[in-house]
Structure 1
């Protein structure tokens, strides 16, 4: 019986998490950050109903779509390794000044 209740609650959390508004972000960490810290952040984002859209090779970080609430948690976790989370947006070098 307890297993059924726990399963139902877990499924409800997943469904509710998937319904929260998703933000497209880039999450980056200092170069000396251990890989398990990034893995922990990616796992938390996935568990909250988000998804990892790209993993970067030149910097320690990744792009994701995730609920804002989990992004706040990811940013505050590390004492030694602070995540920088910024909105993912289009950048252009073309200007329209005339």
Structure 2
């Protein structure tokens, strides 16, 4: 029974998650990025992609994680955007 409750809560937190992209300035230390990713997973979200060419990642994150990331580092302010499909026509 406990396993089912834990499984249900895990699915619930992902159901309430928003797809986001988080990017940081070039001079941001890797530790700031790691702390932000930990905030996402600790809040019940998941990292969906770690970017190599820019300092950033994509995630499915609950609003509490988004708020935590936005205030986590005063020196290295992240840009947090909704992840969505873009097209040109």
Normalising by the residue count of structure 2, what TM-score does the alignment of the two structures yield? 0.83
Root-mean-square deviation (CA, aligned residues, Å) is 1.9
2:30 match: 35
SS at match of 1:64: strand
Give the distance between the partners of 2:48 and 2:65, measured in 1 at CA: 16
- 1:44 pairs with 36, 39, 48, which one? 39
Whether 1:19 and 2:18 are equivalent positions in the alignment is no
1:5 match: none
Give the distance between the partners of 1:42 and 1:29, measured in 2 at CA: 12
**Structure of larger gyration radius:** 1
Give the distance between the partners of 1:91 and 1:18, measured in 2 at CA: 27
Normalising by the residue count of structure 1, what TM-score does the alignment of the two structures yield? 0.76
Unpaired runs of 5+ residues, structure 2, are: none
SS at match of 2:58: strand
Unpaired runs of 5+ residues, structure 1, are: 1-10
Whether 1:73 and 2:65 are equivalent positions in the alignment is no
After the TM superposition, which segments of 4 or more aligned residues of structure 1 sit over 4 Å from their partners? none
Q: 1:29 to 1:92 in 2, by over 3 A?
A: same
Q: How many residues align?
A: 82
Q: In the TM superposition, what is the alpha-carbon distance from 1:50 to its structure 2 partner? A: 0.3
